[in-house]
Structure 1
């Protein structure tokens, strides 16, 4: 298992912000390469897998809506109306010349973010990733719905909105790599595992789905050189410090949508749950802890930290005094060999990427719960390392209650934030092939009404 390379000789250049450019720590956008050959992309940008449009006059998101006589109609791509002027490539076929602050820069940023993420995960899966809607559309429509207070992955599309901070500042999600990467993560899971395929799908599936999308975003973020360097310079390798790795999908430096570093356990959901995003934090937190411990193992292997520091970090995990005691020790160790820390972080990143891809390939939606992810992770680690990290996986999963108890039932019908039961992700009634694993809208609508 070697490093995953993300610079494509002969590919196309884009300038991307790893996280929202309104954040205090954000600097200049970073130049990245996507796999589309230079000169092959059309205005939009567009290639054979996806295209960007910026509609004029589109007033609502795609999805199912009430029609005449109590019927419903499926409002879905492609958008047939007028559009804002599209981003054009430079004469040499790249998109890194566009001026920051223009619609065209944001259009290119959205395409580049999603294409870059797709390239990363096709390397982890070691194959082409398909769309679950491929029998209807051969390309993903990426479009802006300015004023939509979210970003949505749906049937054949990713719709990109914006968020208004309490200060009144408008944050455009098209400029957020991690949010766009998260939405592509949903589409990867829709194809690899599916949307609920029968009434009795386990409730933990919904938390898994959000967690998987979070991991896609989190791992993809660390394919930016600036993110790796910035993370290590800010934390000295103490990944539990409050930094850009354990905050993502964020809209300000003090308000994030989710946090990878958290103390949530399944015991908190034993009586039931309402929001799948909160349930997902249990699994995401366990996976983040596993990642940190594997990073520490690489640091130990390279003699970059002492066994005493690793043991102390484990003992104090969750202790209020953790940062006060541990941070100075990491500061000293990092100053001795910053390059070694970067290599260890990249190695742990790629381990997690290959492991997640292998786990998702093996999961079956009908039996999927957090314990299934735990058991499959052990199998995958056996295949990848001979079981080197079994102890780490065991300790972190069971500390969260995974493999010990199950989450209780959903206590209320899903709301508009739910992906799996939303109108926008519903498949057509006549869907076949890959979509046959997914319930059609009429049945899913009836299920969603049940508590």
Structure 2
């Protein structure tokens, strides 16, 4: 038997937060040590760790890289019970629960993608560190993965000062693991061969890893289907990433972004990721719909109408009632079809990633690799779906322009089929790689983080909050 933990599928600051689920990870009961810790990672909550790992400057302005291990004192670790499980940690105000939750989020995500891959996925930094040091760092208003570490901080709402610890945000942690998975399977570009689209690909892949992983929670599958009746172009948990409150959600997989939006240039790799993420989400939805037709849950007429109205304002107006009637008649078929689409797309992604080179990467390379993967796995069954969605996103016909300087405190808009939100990207984007660092560091794979802040450490509401929690 594996080891049991309680895991929140969704951040607990959301209006419709889901309760914690009991999940089983692959590590046998009794094999996980204090921290929690195992042969892949160990979780610590350092006392007075002054700054996050990564690139910093000394007092003379010279850059240096700060890497594990932490050799200072740590707060008491989470401990297994007499049976080797961690179910006795169930209080969100207990720092040990945060440690257990962080560990379980990482291990659960790795388990999912290792099953799809068919073998263990080593850390991309395994030649330097066999274990990842997983650091709970509440003063760090970010989350990041880098050489030998994963650091998890806290989101501070700049409007009302409310706090959302990333240690309880499965989406943010799974996104970090996604970066690690991609750096292992695809690799890092050689010096001078890193493209803008490689950076967008990394961000997109982190979001997709998180999205697919979330569909392994029963409560997420239930919530998605019950709130949409299978019309996944309605706003739903599955298509939202890095949500920290009911209104503060960062990126939408369900979006209308095209690569041609960036022909004049780009400012942020997280936004540049949106056309690729949107294409993959649309492929997931289309595979789901085709499976619904195959099992007789919806008519081919409804599926064709859905395709023709996709992206239009009339989509929900004309189709929602039909989806609701079909779902009410056969909810289990909808559930089975969604799980089939989840696994089909995840398997397709694993095979696609295995065919990619990180050097000089463009989204057209991803498109072509996915077609080859689809041929090997499905013998052309979804070829048209893939082509239609990449072509609609102008992938293959548009060229990304140069990188442009960001305006100070610039805000961006993330638009979906039925949702639009404004957000402050500098303060709230929890996707990973900080591409404000030097080119040498970008290509070294030392650090990939969420909000893009390096060498900036200051007292915060979050620090005082966590100190109080730690007693």
Tell me how far apart the structure 1 counterparts of residues 76 and 103 of structure 2 sit (CA, whole Å). Answer: 15
Structure 2: which 5+ runs fail to align? 409-425, 447-471
What count of residue pairs does the alignment treat as equivalent?
Answer: 423
Within the candidate set 290, 297, 314, 2:307 is matched to 314
Tell me how far apart the structure 1 counterparts of residues 220 and 298 of structure 2 sit (CA, whole Å). Answer: 22
Give, in angstroms, the shift of residue 75 of structure 1: 1.1
Partner of 1:432: none
What does 1:282-361 align with in structure 2 at a 5 Å threshold? 282-361=275-354
**CA 1:89/1:380 → structure 2, altered by over 3 Å: closer, same or farther?**
same
Q: Which deviates more, 219-228 or 314-323?
A: 314-323
* Bigger RCO of structures 1 and 2 (CA < 8 A, at least 6 apart): 2
What does 1:71-220 align with in structure 2 at a 5 Å threshold? 71-100=62-91, 101-165=93-157, 166-220=159-213
Give, in angstroms, the shift of residue 320 of structure 1: 1.1
Q: Is the 8 A contact 2:14 2:243 kept in 1?
A: no
Partner of 1:256: 249
- When normalised by structure 2's length, the TM-score is 0.86
**CA 1:425/1:111 → structure 2, altered by over 3 Å: closer, same or farther?**
farther
Give, in angstroms, the shift of residue 424 of structure 1: 11
Tell me how far apart the structure 1 counterparts of residues 14 and 62 of structure 2 sit (CA, whole Å). Answer: 45
Within the candidate set 237, 262, 265, 1:269 is matched to 262
Tell me how far apart the structure 1 counterparts of residues 117 and 369 of structure 2 sit (CA, whole Å). Answer: 16
Partner of 2:383: 390
Is residue 2:183 matched to residue 1:224? no
Give, in angstroms, the shift of residue 414 of structure 1: 12
Partner of 2:397: 404
- When normalised by structure 1's length, the TM-score is 0.90
Q: Which deviates more, 415-424 or 112-121?
A: 415-424
Q: Is the 8 A contact 1:63 1:425 kept in 2?
A: no
Partner of 1:58: 49
Give, in angstroms, the shift of residue 199 of structure 1: 1.0
Tell me how far apart the structure 2 counterparts of residues 329 and 424 of structure 1 sit (CA, whole Å). Answer: 52
Is residue 2:433 matched to residue 1:419? yes
Give, in angstroms, the shift of residue 308 of structure 1: 1.3
Q: Is the 8 A contact 1:61 1:424 kept in 2?
A: no
Q: Is the 8 A contact 1:248 1:258 kept in 2?
A: yes
CA RMSD of superposed structures (Å): 2.0
**CA 1:422/1:190 → structure 2, altered by over 3 Å: closer, same or farther?**
farther
Give, in angstroms, the shift of residue 36 of structure 1: 0.7
**CA 1:440/1:326 → structure 2, altered by over 3 Å: closer, same or farther?**
closer
Q: Which deviates more, 258-267 or 164-173?
A: 164-173
Partner of 2:22: 31
Deviations 1:395-450 (A, max 9, x none): 000000011122112123899877164659976xxxxxxxxx94488xxxxxxxxx
Tell me how far apart the structure 2 counterparts of residues 306 and 104 of structure 1 sit (CA, whole Å). Answer: 50
**CA 1:440/1:138 → structure 2, altered by over 3 Å: closer, same or farther?**
closer
